[in-house]
Amino acid sequence: MTNFPLLSNHQRTNHEVMAPSPQYSLIIPVFNEEKSIPELYRRMQQVMDSLDGTVELILVNDGSSDRTLSLLRELQAQDSRVCYLSFARNFGHQVAVSAGLNYARGLVVVILDADLQDPPELIPELIDRWREGYQVVYAQRTKRHQESWSKRLPAYIFYRVLKNLADVDIPTDTGDFCLLDRMVVDVLNEMPERDRYLRGLRSWVGFQQTAVFYERDPRYAGEVKYTFGKSLTLAINGLVSFSKIPLRLSTYIGLAASIAAIFMGILILYWRLQIPGSPLTGFATIMIGIFFLGAVQLVSIGILGEYVGRIYEQVKGRPLYILSEVAGFKSLEKYAPDQEKFREKYKEESKEK
């Protein structure tokens, strides 16, 4: 990672932040979204036309196996505002958004989903709040239309657990749909962490933040791309990245169990001494005790493993993503320094062979 001090190059005065003609970057990660893309582009086009500044629409193809990439190529050929990044394989939604942030050049950056669950028509409202002086404007769901209970209930519980455990105040029911000022994007780009739980990082950075409320529409077309496994991984990432309380949990349970053990010891001694001939069988109690403590130990090792595994991934220092195709960006030099360095190194190595 480059090591220049945060913000020093980018600090702007309030006056500049409220400049009337900013350049907007709109980032959309796409993974097998061939059915949504035409309608997405139609609605994005209307929004882009209505904005008062220059716009770039950054589509990040997260290793799609359908016609997504060829649709992006077509869009890019017909509209110079469209640029795209294409990953060599599926790296996941959070990484796709991070790549978009690396390449975005706008003074204002907006992140939204490709399936039109985040209505593009809300973008002007987000921008209005930015003009009022907010650097982070996140869209908060008041309702989720036509989403199953199996998705809504775990999400509902998770956001509330996270809010209680996390070191920073992460607002409930907010996804990645948000607007970020350039200052915030620069800070996020400088963060070296691999497990990028963006809605947490977005809260962590601070600045002036506000919410815009909206009702989340159903997915426009196609299947949900966030499978249960991916959602669970994201949730664990959120918890592990923003809280050390799970690590302490085994200490607490261990302490409680040792206190219980001392009491049990005293109780048994009392029975033996005071009640002559007491049978004191308790086979079931012993089995439950053994299984319970065994389970607690295994879960504790598992929790520890979550943290250690993340240290391992971080230390390996592999690039966050590999690009196989990039198009439509006017200048690439300043952005994604790691990616470019990796590309140069790779080229040199191939030449040597």
Residue 285's alpha-carbon distances to 13, 185, 258, 265, 282, in angstroms, are: 68, 56, 16, 14, 5
Which among ligand UDP, Mg ion, none contacts residue 96 (Cβ within 5 to 8 A by kind)? ligand UDP
Output 83 or 116, the one with its CB closest to Mg ion: 116
Binding residues for ligand UDP, rule CB under 6 A, total: 17
Which 46-105 residues touch ligand UDP, going by CB under 6 A? 62, 90, 92-93, 96
Tokens of 260: 């219980």
73 burial class (0-12, 13-18, 19+ CB within 10 angstroms)? middle
According to CB under 6 A, which one of 129, 196, 202, 225 is a site residue for ligand UDP?
Answer: 225
Output 117 or 209, the one with its CB closest to Mg ion: 117
Q: Give me the least distance between CB of 115 and Mg ion, in Å please.
A: 4
Q: Give dist(CA 71, CA 34) in Å, integer.
A: 7
Q: Give me the least distance between CB of 147 and ligand UDP, in Å please.
A: 8
Q: At what angle do helices 283-316 and 245-274 cross, to 10 degrees?
A: 160
Q: Give me the least distance between CB of 190 and ligand UDP, in Å please.
A: 23
According to CB under 6 A, which one of 156, 207, 220, 226 is a site residue for ligand UDP?
Answer: 226
According to CB under 6 A, which one of 57, 69, 108, 114 is a site residue for ligand UDP?
Answer: 114
Task: Name the one range near ligand UDP by CB under 6 A: 222-230, 242-250, 288-296, 333-341.
Answer: 222-230
322 binds ligand UDP (CB under 6 A): no
According to CB under 6 A, which one of 113, 181, 186, 195 is a site residue for ligand UDP?
Answer: 113
Q: Give dist(CA 228, CA 225) in Å, integer.
A: 9
What is the longest distance spanned by two Cα atoms in the chain? Answer: 93
Q: Give me the least distance between CB of 40 and ligand UDP, in Å please.
A: 9
Task: Name the one range near ligand UDP by CB under 6 A: 73-81, 224-232, 293-301, 306-314.
Answer: 224-232
Which among Mg ion, ligand UDP, none contacts residue 129 (Cβ within 5 to 8 A by kind)? none
Q: Give dist(CA 268, CA 265) in Å, integer.
A: 5
Partnered with residue 179 across adjacent β-strands are 110, 137
Query: Are 22 and 107 spatial neighbours (Cβ–Cβ below 8 Å)?
Result: yes
Which among Mg ion, ligand UDP, none contacts residue 37 (Cβ within 5 to 8 A by kind)? none
According to CB under 6 A, which one of 17, 30, 82, 178 is a site residue for ligand UDP?
Answer: 30
Which among Mg ion, ligand UDP, none contacts residue 62 (Cβ within 5 to 8 A by kind)? ligand UDP
Per-residue mark of binding to ligand UDP, 163-182 (x: CB under 6 A): --------------------
Which among ligand UDP, Mg ion, none contacts residue 181 (Cβ within 5 to 8 A by kind)? none
Q: Give me the least distance between CB of 84 and ligand UDP, in Å please.
A: 12
Rounded to 5°, the CA angle 117-201-83 comes to 55
| Residues near ligand UDP (CB under 6 A) | 29-31, 33, 62, 90, 92-93, 96, 113-115, 117, 219, 224-226
